Amino acid sequence: MPESPPQPYAHPARIDGHRALDAVLFDFHGTLAMTVDPVAWVSAAAADCGVTLDRGKATVLADRLATAGALPGVAPPVRVPPQLAEAWADRDLYEHAHRQAYTGLAATVPNDVPGLPDALYARLLTPAGWTPYPDVMNTLTTLRAAGVRTALVSNVGFDLRPLLDAWGLTALFDTLVLSYEVGCIKPDPKIFLRACGLLSVDPERVLMIGDTPADAGAVNAGCAALVVPAASPGRPNGLHRAISLALP
């Protein structure tokens, strides 16, 4: 039986489908885009290092890296080694901490691919490491055409602009609020208020869309919140709901 598409859910006290909104804030990972399949990620990174992995070896290695938390967005680490604890805690506040945390976690997994931790991380920074959800372009274009302001609000330790540029999405955002650039992370209300301030909108007329409880923290800043389950790469994730919620 084919898998049913994930159904979004809204914070029941904050969302009114008949309420017009002035702006919509979007999370990035799990909302606008998803990292590529872990096995494909590991295989491509190994190839970048000059090593060809068969499917079986790539699958085993990807599972071990995922368990270690070395593949951002796939799974959190089961255990963070003491020497990486500070970098892990600061990963979304500083670029160097983000790189150190994930390359350090990858280095804890034994393998026969020289340079694999850096190669895995390098692919994270490029469009090749991601797949945007299919309803992203239409959702953003429709909102912008209706005069709804948009912002990207992400807990991230690297620049997302090259990815947005590659997908033709940059011009569809009025502003980007990246945690490592503004010095605060979701669910801290300050990051949502920062976005509202940059957009010159009242938080009570703003909707935040994301896929985690941290995104729902926007309600503490006075915004509405819609949490959509992260779908598999290439499958719709309910992002289009932003249109019916934002427009009268």
Express each pLDDT in 65-117 by its tens digit. 999 999 998 889 999 999 999 999 999 999 999 999 999 999 999 999 999 99
For the residues 50-73, what does the mean pLDDT come to?
Answer: 96
pLDDT of res. 15: 43
User: What is the three-class DSSP state of 159?
Assistant: coil
Instruction: Identify the pLDDT of residue 237.
Output: 84
In this predicted structure, the answer to whether residue 10 has a pLDDT above a threshold of 80 is: no
Which of 23, 163, 168 minimizes the C-alpha distance to 178?
Answer: 163
Per-residue DSSP letter, 72: T
Predicted local distance difference test score (pLDDT) of residue 234? 75
Average pLDDT over the chain reads 91
